[in-house]
Amino acid sequence: MTSKQRVMTALDFRTPDRVPVAPMAFWSEFTEQWREVTGNEGTVEDWFGVDVHIAIGDETPYPSLAGEIGRDGEYVLQRDGWGQVKRTREGGAFFGQIDFAYEEDGSLRHGEFEPPDLDARYRSLDGRIDALKKRYCVFAKVGGPFIRTGFMRGETRWLMDLAADPQMAAEMAMRTSRHLTDIGLEQLRRWDLYDTGVWIFDDMAATRGPMFSPATAERVMAPAWAHMIDSFKSAGAEKVILHSDGNIGPLLDLFIDLGFDGINPVEYHTGLHPVELRERYGERLVMLGGLDNALILPRGDRDEVRAHVIDVLYAAADGGFAIGTHSVGPDIAVETIQLVRETINEYGEYPLRLP
């Protein structure tokens, strides 16, 4: 089977030739270590057998505003396409937010969003998309209304809005949702990804749970999510998958009711156990991920790692699952990832024969 055939078969709760491998973000530091250990000059994704690629253009509302706008001693001031001004040290990885696209009253400081069909938004992938589709199961990607509105409003003020002024928060979320939906529809059309679909990346949770209550989710955010899901599926998108870090367990029933087909990355250390979720939701919920990159893989105990991979594979018994983890950083040994790969290869062929 091709990667596309394998993934889409699994997402329909049928069994392909083997359990698909979900997208995994291999940090550059890990990739360097991997090259040193293995001597491999290819890509980690090919070596590990990753089946899914997420394709994204420039979804920001103000791409023409992005760039450096000044200096403050050893700090660089940059405005990004979300309209936020970030202050960071030269070459630094972390930044402070010092200005935003939304005024205090919820009005837009920089005016209406720039058109979603600008060629410049998609140019970086237009010439490569056909090659990617031959190798991977490619999905379109857009951000979600929670995290992207936070970029434009500022995280602290945005969380306060959700609690103190839910009507204004809902209006901002819907405005974000409409823009991101238009970007997603353009990607589906331009790259012909209707037969796979769209991933909505909307990080909204910490280890213990979401950053807002289920009541706020239903009252404020649900209409924005519903607009995106309904629009993509009406356009012909086969699947709509939600990506969110953290424990989104308290919101899963809502997400299923809204029409999300599946979730990623199913972070094990937050309490999202794939086998338990399969028992609870059956064929109502596709899962992509499930491996623990926070505790088990960094510890690197071979017996524990092997048992963990086998345990997670039980969720894939009847399809509806792709195995993987959120990301792989330098805190995880190359030998550990080799063991994960070997265990998946040993036990991941259908029909599954798990010990």
User: What is the per-residue pLDDT for 92?
Assistant: 77
* Final residue in a domain of this structure, among 100, 123, 147: 100
Higher model confidence: residue 245 or residue 92? 245
State the total domains in the chain.
2
User: What is the per-residue pLDDT for 164?
Assistant: 96
Domain co-membership, 224 together with 293 = yes
Chain centroid, CA 33 distance in Å: 25
For residue 240, the cross-strand partners are: 198
Domain co-membership, 14 together with 80 = no
Range of the domain at 82: 63-100
Domain co-membership, 70 together with 144 = no
Neighbours of 69 (CB within 10 A): 12
Higher model confidence: residue 214 or residue 96? 214
Segment 227-247 shows an average pLDDT of: 98
Residue 242 lies in a domain: yes
Helices 222-235 and 166-191 pack at an angle, to 10 degrees, of 20
The mean pLDDT value of the chain amounts to 96
Backbone angles phi, psi at 144, to 5 degrees: -110, 165
Cα–Cα distance list, 250 to 124, 158, 211 (Å): 37, 21, 11
**Whether pLDDT at 240 is above 80:** yes
Domain co-membership, 251 together with 215 = yes
Neighbours of 90 (CB within 10 A): 8
What CATH number does residue 257 fall under?
Answer: 3.20.20.210
User: What is the per-residue pLDDT for 133?
Assistant: 98
Domain co-membership, 206 together with 282 = yes
**Whether pLDDT at 91 is above 80:** no
* pLDDT 10s digits, 101-158: 999 999 999 999 999 999 999 999 999 999 999 999 999 999 999 999 999 999 999 9
* Final residue in a domain of this structure, among 100, 120, 148: 100
Segment 205-221 shows an average pLDDT of: 97
**Whether pLDDT at 74 is above 90:** no
Residue 325 lies in a domain: yes
3-state secondary structure 165-186: CHHHHHHHHHHHHHHHHHHHHH
Provide the pLDDT confidence category of residue 258 given band limits of 50, 70 and 90: very high
Domain co-membership, 86 together with 172 = no
Interatomic CA distance for residues 168 and 148, integer angstroms: 15
User: What is the per-residue pLDDT for 249?
Assistant: 98
Domain co-membership, 81 together with 157 = no
Q: CA 235, 120, 225 angle in degrees (round to 5)? A: 35
**Whether pLDDT at 89 is above 90:** no
* pLDDT 10s digits, 290-317: 999 999 999 999 999 999 999 999 999 9
Domain co-membership, 123 together with 251 = yes
Backbone angles phi, psi at 133, to 5 degrees: -70, -25
Domain co-membership, 136 together with 228 = yes
3-state secondary structure the chain: CCHHHHHHHHHCCCCCCECCECCCEECHHHHHHHHHHHCCCCCHHHHHCCCEEEECCCCCCCHHHCEEEEEECCEEEEECCCCCEEEEECCCCCCEEEECCECCCCCECCCCCCCCCCHHHCHHHHCCHHHHHHHCEEEEEEECHHHHHHHHHCHHHHHHHHHHCHHHHHHHHHHHHHHHHHHHHHHHHHHCCCCCEEEEECCCECCCCECCCHHHHHHHHHHHHHHHHHHHHHHCCCEEEEECCCCCHHHHHHHHHHCCCEEECCCHHHCCCHHHHHHHHHHHCEEEEECCCCCHHHHCCHHHHHHHHHHHHHHHECECEEEECCEECCCCCHHHHHHHHHHHHHHCECCCCCC
Segment 284-293 shows an average pLDDT of: 98
Provide the pLDDT confidence category of residue 97 given band limits of 50, 70 and 90: confident
Provide the pLDDT confidence category of residue 208 given band limits of 50, 70 and 90: very high
Residue 329 lies in a domain: yes
**Whether pLDDT at 93 is above 80:** no
Residue 353 lies in a domain: no
* pLDDT 10s digits, 13-69: 999 999 999 999 999 999 999 999 999 999 999 999 999 999 999 999 999 999 999
Residue 318 lies in a domain: yes
Domain co-membership, 83 together with 108 = no
Domain co-membership, 95 together with 154 = no
Residue 355 lies in a domain: no
Domain co-membership, 89 together with 179 = no
Structure tokens at 119: 């060629």
* pLDDT 10s digits, 164-174: 999 999 999 99
User: What is the per-residue pLDDT for 148?
Assistant: 98
